[in-house]
Amino acid sequence: MAEPLILALDQGTTSTRAILFDAAGRAVSEAARPLTQHYPEDGWVEHDAEEIFEASVAVMREALERAGRTAGEVAAIGITNQRETVVVWDRASGKPIHRAIVWQDRRTAATCERLRAAGSEPRVTEITGLLLDPYFSGTKIAWLLGEVEGARAAAQAGELMVGTIDAWLIWKLSGGARHVTDATNASRTLLFDIKTGAWSPEMLDLFDIPAGVLPTVCDCAHDFGETLPELLGAPVPIRGVAGDQQAALMGQGCVRAGEMKATYGTGCFMLVNTGEHLAPSRSRLLTTVAARLGGRTTYALEGSIFIAGAALQWVNEGFGVEGGGAGAERLAQTARPDHGVVLVPAFTGLGAPWWDAGARGAVFGLTRDSGLAEIARAAFDSCALQTRDLIEAMRADAPGAFGKATELRIDGGMSRSAWFAQRLADLTGVAVGRASYQETTALGAALFAGLGAGVYPDVEAAVAARPSTERLEPQLDGHGREAAYARWLDAVARVRTRM
C-alpha cells in the first residue's frame, strides 16, 4: 500500500497555500495564490470570502497536479487559518452578507472602549482568557449583525451562519454538510469559555449574538466531514483544524508544558505551552487553547509583538538599504559592538506586555559616530529585546511551565538568519532552536489531520515527523545581556503613554 499523503491548506492573511506532505513530514509539493486586501476606510481591513474559497480549491488541485498524485491518494486534509477573521453568510444561499472582516481591522475600537469603560473587561478575560480588543472576532460579529441591513433579525430567525475562516471553508468544501470549528479558533472569538470548552452564554449576551449562528466546536483532530467529490476529483476527509499560531506550535513539536515557539514575520507571535494548567495572566498576555485532542484541552500563554520583520523593512525603505532583510543584516553586522543605540519600533504602538496604542517609535543613544549600521543593528536587536519582554512576562505568569523550558523554537522569515538566531539567544539568555523547514504552520495542520485520520497513532508519533532544528546557545556574558536589557527598558519607558 502506498505511503499515506496529507494535504495541508494554510489560509493566511496575504496568501492561500496548499502543501502536500508524506507521513514523514516531508513536503512533496506546494502551490500558493496571493489574497486581495480591501481597505474601505481607515483602519478597516476586509477579504472576499468567496475568493478565499476559490483560491483554496485551486491551490489544493495544483499541489496534487504538481506531485502527479490524485485526491484518492490523500488520507486527509488539515486546515489552518488566520484566526480572528470572521465571515457571516446566508444559510440558504451560502452567500456572505458582507466581506470577511480581518483580524487586523480596528473598526470596533469604540465598542471595545465602551465595554471597557463599563467595567466588562475583567469578566471577559476571566471567561475567555482574552482582552477587549478589536483584534478578536466577537465585536466583528456584533458589528456585522448590527450594521448590515436585516442581519440581526435574520440571525435571530436562524437564517445566518457565522464562522472564522476554517468554519467557512469546511462548510463550503463539504457542500454545506458541516458547520464546525475547532477549539483553538473558538478560543479567539471572545465568545468561548476556555474552562468549560463551550460557547459562553454570558459572552453571547454581552455581544448580543444568537447562539444558533455559531458552529459546533470540535477537537483539533476530528471528523470535520469530507470534500465534495467534484472539487478535487474524489471526496477527501477533513481531519485536522487549528488556528495558525496553534498549528505552528504543533509543527514545532511544542506539545509539552514549557515548550515554546516564536514566529517572526511582520510581527512576532510567541506561545508557551502550559499543559493542562490554565494560567491566568497578570502581565496582559493572552491565555488561549493550545490544542484539544481526545477531549483533553491543553493551554498556552501568547504574546504578540506588532513590529518584528517590519523593523527591517523600515530600514530598507526608510534609508534606501537594498537587499531586503539580508541587506539589512549585512549592514547590521558592520556596526560597532558597543554602539549603545536602541530602537523602539512602536510604529503602531506597543504590543504585549505593554499594550500601549499611543506609544510611538524612537531611536535613543545616538552619538556623533553612530551611523546607519548601528540603527540597522538596533532594529534586529529590538526583535530580540521585545522577545525578552515576553519571556519575562511568561516566566512570571507560568513559573511552573517555564521552569521546564529548555529552548525557544523559532520559525518565520527572520529565523532563516543564523546571525539573528544567535543574537536572539544572546539577548534573551535562552537557547534557540532554528527549524530547518519553515512552513511549520502548514506542517502542524498536517500533523493534526494525520492524527485524525489514524496516520499517526498518538501525538508523540506525530511530532516525531517535525523537521530537525539547529540549536544555538547564548554566547553573550550575563553582564552584557542585562546591560542591553536595561537600556531597552529605559527606552521603552520613555515612549510609553500608559504607565
pLDDT in tens, 202-228: 999 999 999 999 999 999 999 999 999
Specify whether 101 is located in the same domain as 185: yes
Q: Is the peptide bond before 337 cis (omega within 30 degrees of 0)?
A: no
Instruction: Tell me whether residue 443 is in a domain.
Output: no
Pair 200, 256 in one domain: no
Residue 287 lies in a domain: yes
Query: Per the domain annotation, does 455 fall within a domain?
Result: no
- Decide if 458 is inside a domain: no
Q: What is the mean pLDDT of residues 258-281?
A: 90
- Give bridge partners of residue 370 from the DSSP assignment: none
Residue 1: its pLDDT value, please?
Answer: 47
Residues 236 and 322 in one domain: no
CB atoms < 10 A from the CB of 493, how many?
11
452, part of any domain: no
* Same-domain status, 81 and 166: yes
pTM of the model: 0.90
- Is residue 162 predicted with pLDDT exceeding 90? yes
Residue 404 pLDDT > 80: no
Domain boundary, last residue among 185, 211, 244: 244
For position 254, what pLDDT does the model report? 92
Average pLDDT, stretch 301-316?
A: 89
**Domain end residue (candidates: 197, 216, 244):** 244
Residues 220, 327 within the same domain:
no
191 and 289, same domain (yes or no): no
Q: Is residue 211 included in any domain, yes or no?
A: yes
Of the residues 228, 244, 260, the one at which a domain ends: 244
Strands of the sheet containing 296-305, edge to edge, are: 286-293, 296-305, 268-275, 260-264, 408-411, 432-435, 469-472
Structural domain count, the chain = 2
- Residue 438 confidence (pLDDT): 81
> For residue 337, what are the contacts with CB-CB under 8 A and spacing of at least 6?
none
Q: What CATH number should be reported for the domain holding residue 304?
A: 3.30.420.40
The verdict on 16 and 91 lying in the same domain is: yes
Q: What percent of the chain has pLDDT over 70?
A: 99
What would the mean pLDDT of 90-111 be, rounded to a whole number?
Answer: 92
Round to whole Å and give the CA distance between 196 and 201: 12
* One domain for residues 9 and 112: yes
Task: Tell me whether residue 462 is in a domain.
Answer: no
Question: Would you say residue 456 lies in a domain?
Answer: no
- Are residues 41 and 166 located together in one domain of the fold? yes
Question: Which tens digits make up the pLDDT trace of 14-27?
Answer: 899 999 999 999 99
Please check whether residues 262 and 407 belong to one and the same domain. Answer: yes
- What does the pLDDT average to over 172-193? 97
Q: Which residue has the higher pLDDT, 199 or 467?
A: 199
Query: Could you tell me if 422 and 312 lie in one domain?
Result: yes
299 has a pLDDT exceeding 60? yes
184 and 158 assigned to the same domain:
yes
Q: Within 13 Å of residue 168, how many CA atoms lie on the same side as its CB?
A: 32
Domain housing 173? 5-244
